[in-house]
């Protein structure tokens, strides 16, 4: 058994979060933040979705079947964070192949030449105006991702895998505090779109906590996908309805926002394909870190942060403040490089080899002063001398991005492991619900930079840069940890923080996930949770760091393989209402 597995086995702590709302038509399902056992594991932010994944495992399905089932259920219970109106990235270890594979199901810009680098500047007043518009909607990739994963690696057909989600959408789910809060935050714009208000609001107001929200339209859409597969989404009536919604947003009388029409066409949907690039790989303290390549910046940025920190002689021996200072500085440097170099590599030359090289990490580490924070933003470095392809040094730093997503992890007894992050971009996406279909469309194209010197400017057919960081850690070629998180640009620092605490600081996976967080995105004032500021704020401010308050950062889920067929699933104990981890055959609790 590895040293990591020994540490994990010795530090398992069982946590539970149970919510029974008042006036519920039925009790809300309980949540367990940690579970250990054998046979397979599923971890999501929602117990209904976790249960959907477990249903597949009980029926003899594998980790891929469970991941698709759980993500379809999250489209019901987490419709503001993910669903078939969006896209995402899947990283998996395939036991039969003994290799890590990735599926790029990122949303794609329309192929219309008018969707150029000036499209948002010329047609929308600001970022918010761009979000609330058809222009923000890219071709969704989630359904194509599901089909590709099942066709290549699953054991069940899509029709069977969708059944738990169909039942859930028809029966409904219990509205909890998190769902109500997310609805409240979007109330003004949801009221401007009749289809969205009809589905998610109760007479124009936030549905009561404890009430049941049913989505028969989504159940029917899922049934159509069960019958027709991927073609039922990307061609025919569903595709027609998506395009009509984008090109002519149906808003209520007196809508405050302009709701500009978009450029998406049925040809864009019909031509959409998932991509199958190679995973990014780097090493950290002897472990192999496998992540998502462009157009995600997650694999590169997480890898670079870990590469920089690996130059510290002994991470485990640092005091908590010393470690956090180095983490903040390394993250800012990696973000400068991410912003300057990473975008859709079909359109720009991304120096991935150079950015993930040990030599470049050493150059960046040399800029970390152990006694003083650098002024932010820091400038990007020059990875070109360490790269093996076309590379142009960056002109300067560019800004990051924000958003919300959801993440799940699954594993099975055969050794397959899936880490899957998917999204409709910010919470509530574009706020445009496709009439009669039960799902909200993404605002993913606002992930393009609006202007400036950036590789991530809009272009026809381009996929916007993402921060999604589904990650799998391997030791001696075998998977041992899978992790990921929602949270826009903060995903990168959340995942890197969990990995450094788990792999480099001897924390258990549950403790690494629960640890207080900051989001050092190479900006002068770092967003930080209250627990982070109360624990580290004063000594880090003395080193030159500045912080702003943010209620919570991320909502991570992870699985650790403990050896001998045992698995540990870990979710957030509190963030976003807490997540839910479950295993097929739980250990007997003491």
Q: How are beta strands 547-549 and 526-528 bridged, if at all?
A: parallel
CA–CA separation, 333 and 577 (whole Å): 32
User: Interhelix angle for 63-77 vs 163-171, to 10°?
Assistant: 20
H or E element: which one contains 68? Answer: helix 63-77
Active site residue 405: yes
Nearest partner of 106 among 439, 448, 340, 444, judged by Cα: 444
CA–CA separation, 69 and 87 (whole Å): 15
- Catalytic residue (choose from 405, 406, 410, 500): 405
CA distances (Å), origin 389, targets 151, 304, 349: 34, 18, 8
Output the six-digit token pair for 552: 């919570």
How long is the chain? 590
Exposed, middle or buried: residue 31 (CB in 10 Å: 0-12, 13-18, 19+)? buried
Which distant-in-sequence residues (6+ apart) come within 8 Å of 538 by Cβ?
Answer: none
CA–CA separation, 229 and 234 (whole Å): 9
> Across the chain, how many H-helices and E-strands are there?
23, 18
User: Interhelix angle for 490-499 vs 320-341, to 10°?
Assistant: 140
Output the six-digit token pair for 439: 């799902």
Which distant-in-sequence residues (6+ apart) come within 8 Å of 299 by Cβ?
Answer: 279, 280, 290, 291, 292, 293, 469, 471
Output the six-digit token pair for 366: 């040399």
H or E element: which one contains 57? Answer: helix 47-58
User: Interhelix angle for 298-309 vs 490-499, to 10°?
Assistant: 40
Longest dimension (CA), the chain: 65
| Residue 112: CB atoms within 10 Å | 16
Residues 293, 300 contacting (CB under 8 angstroms): yes
Identify the bridge partners of residue 287 per DSSP, sorted by sequence position.
284
CA distances (Å), origin 169, targets 73, 212, 216: 8, 11, 6
Q: Which residues are catalytic?
A: 405
């Amino acid at each position: 058994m590895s040293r990591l597995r020994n540490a994990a086995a010795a530090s398992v702590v069982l946590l539970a979060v149970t919510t029974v709302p008042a006036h519920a038509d039925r009790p809300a399902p309980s949540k367990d933040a940690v579970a250990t056992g054998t046979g397979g594991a599923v971890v999501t932010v929602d117990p209904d979705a976790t249960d959907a994944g477990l249903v597949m495992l009980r029926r003899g399905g594998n980790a891929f079947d469970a991941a698709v089932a759980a993500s379809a259920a999250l489209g019901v219970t987490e419709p503001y964070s993910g669903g078939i109106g969006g896209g995402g990235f899947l990283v998996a270890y395939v036991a039969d192949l003994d290799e890590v594979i990735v599926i790029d199901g990122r949303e794609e810009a329309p192929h219309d030449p008018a969707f150029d680098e000036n499209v948002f500047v010329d047609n929308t007043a600001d970022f918010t105006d761009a979000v609330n518009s058809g222009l923000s909607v890219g071709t969704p990739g989630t359904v194509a991702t599901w089909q590709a994963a099942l066709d290549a690696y699953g054991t069940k057909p899509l029709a069977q895998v969708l059944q738990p989600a169909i039942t859930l959408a028809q029966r409904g789910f219990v509205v909890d505090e998190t769902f109500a809060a997310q609805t409240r935050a979007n109330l003004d714009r949801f009221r401007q779109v009749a289809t969205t208000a009809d589905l998610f609001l109760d007479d124009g107001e936030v549905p009561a906590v404890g009430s049941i929200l049913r989505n028969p339209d989504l159940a029917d859409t899922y049934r159509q996908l069960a019958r027709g597969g991927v073609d039922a989404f990307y061609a025919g009536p569903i595709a027609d309805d998506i395009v009509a919604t984008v090109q002519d947003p149906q808003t209520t009388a007196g809508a405050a926002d302009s709701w500009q029409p978009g450029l998406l066409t049925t040809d864009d949907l019909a031509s959409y394909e998932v991509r199958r690039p190679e995973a990014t790989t780097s090493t950290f303290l002897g472990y192999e870190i496998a992540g998502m390549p462009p157009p995600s910046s997650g694999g590169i940025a997480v890898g670079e942060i870990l590469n920089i920190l690996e130059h510290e002689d002994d991470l485990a021996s640092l005091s908590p403040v010393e470690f956090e200072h180095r983490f903040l500085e390394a993250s800012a440097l990696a973000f400068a490089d991410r912003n300057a170099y990473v975008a859709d590599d079909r359109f720009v030359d991304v120096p991935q080899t150079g950015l993930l090289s040990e030599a470049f990490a050493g150059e960046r580490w040399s800029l970390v002063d152990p006694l003083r924070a650098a002024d932010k933003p820091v400038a990007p470095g020059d990875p070109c001398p360490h790269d093996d392809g076309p590379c142009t040094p960056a002109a300067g730093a560019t800004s990051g991005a924000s958003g919300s997503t959801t993440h799940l992890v699954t594993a099975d007894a055969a050794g397959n492991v899936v880490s899957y992050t998917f999204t409709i971009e910010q919470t509530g996406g574009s706020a445009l619900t496709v009439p009669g279909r039960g799902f909200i469309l993404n605002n993913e194209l606002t992930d393009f930079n609006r202007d400036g010197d950036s590789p991530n400017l809009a272009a026809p057919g381009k996929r916007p840069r993402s921060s999604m960081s589904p990650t799998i850690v391997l030791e001696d070629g075998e998977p041992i940890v899978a992790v990921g998180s929602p949270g826009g640009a903060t995903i990168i620092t959340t995942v890197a923080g969990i990995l450094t605490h788990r792999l480099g600081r001897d924390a258990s996976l549950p403790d690494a996930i629960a640890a207080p967080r900051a989001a050092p995105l190479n900006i002068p004032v770092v967003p930080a949770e209250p627990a982070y500021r109360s624990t580290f704020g004063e000594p880090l401010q003395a080193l030159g760091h500045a912080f702003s308050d943010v209620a919570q950062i991320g909502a991570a889920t992870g699985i650790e393989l403990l050896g001998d067929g045992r698995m540990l699933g870990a979710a957030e104990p509190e963030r976003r209402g807490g997540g839910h981890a479950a295993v097929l055959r739980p250990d007997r609790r003491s």
